[in-house]
């Protein structure tokens, strides 16, 4: 699957200690439009998943092409990831938002979890979205690239019933 290009996201939440947690995730998918629902696959033994299970909420930060460094920082275990990037609470739920590195953030409430081998599929109902114009960051064949289609539009108008 490493040859298949996909968008790059950083999934974030808060731990029980109130500190932010996050990791780079390229396994992200839209599940349903009504209500808007996403899935992400996270390593089952990771601290981000433990924090996400406890909090019941998470943010999906969709990185733009200038967010490569953030993708690399959040891909490495065992370091102060949030000390190496600019972040702030998201506008709606106050979740960790990589506003300088992400062209969009989706705030989600966990609706289901399913363990599959060494990963857990997390299903999240989208409760809020912020999107600005940006060129999405892709990852494939073990390298990063900018979306060849150029800038995606923004700002995003959230679906009815979803805070923007």
pLDDT per residue over 132-157, tens digit each? 999 999 999 888 989 888 888 876 54
* pLDDT, position 3: 74
* pLDDT, position 1: 62
Q: Which CATH superfamily is domain 6-146 in?
A: Electron Transport, Fmn-binding Protein; Chain A (2.30.110.10)
* pLDDT, position 148: 85
* pLDDT, position 118: 93
Positions in the chain short of pLDDT 70:
1, 155-164
Close Cβ partners of 23 (under 8 Å, ≥ 6 residues apart): 10, 11, 42, 43, 46, 48, 74, 75
């Amino acid at each position: 699957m490493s040859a298949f290009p996909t968008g790059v996201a950083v999934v974030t939440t808060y731990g029980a200690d109130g500190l932010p947690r996050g990791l780079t995730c390229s396994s992200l998918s839209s599940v349903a439009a009504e209500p808007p629902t996403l899935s992400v696959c996270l390593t089952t033994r990771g601290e981000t998943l433990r924090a996400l299970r406890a909090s019941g909420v998470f943010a999906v930060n969709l990185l733009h092409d200038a967010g490569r460094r953030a993708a690399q920082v959040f891909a490495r275990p065992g370091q102060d990831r949030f000390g190496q990037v600019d972040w702030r609470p998201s506008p709606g739920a106050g979740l960790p938002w990589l506003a300088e590195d992400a062209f969009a953030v989706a705030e989600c409430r966990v609706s289901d979890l399913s363990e599959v081998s060494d990963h857990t599929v997390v299903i999240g109902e989208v409760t809020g979205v912020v999107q600005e114009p940006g060129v999405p960051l892709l990852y494939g064949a073990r390298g990063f690239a900018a979306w060849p289609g150029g800038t995606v539009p923004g700002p995003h108008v959230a679906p009815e019933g979803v805070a923007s």
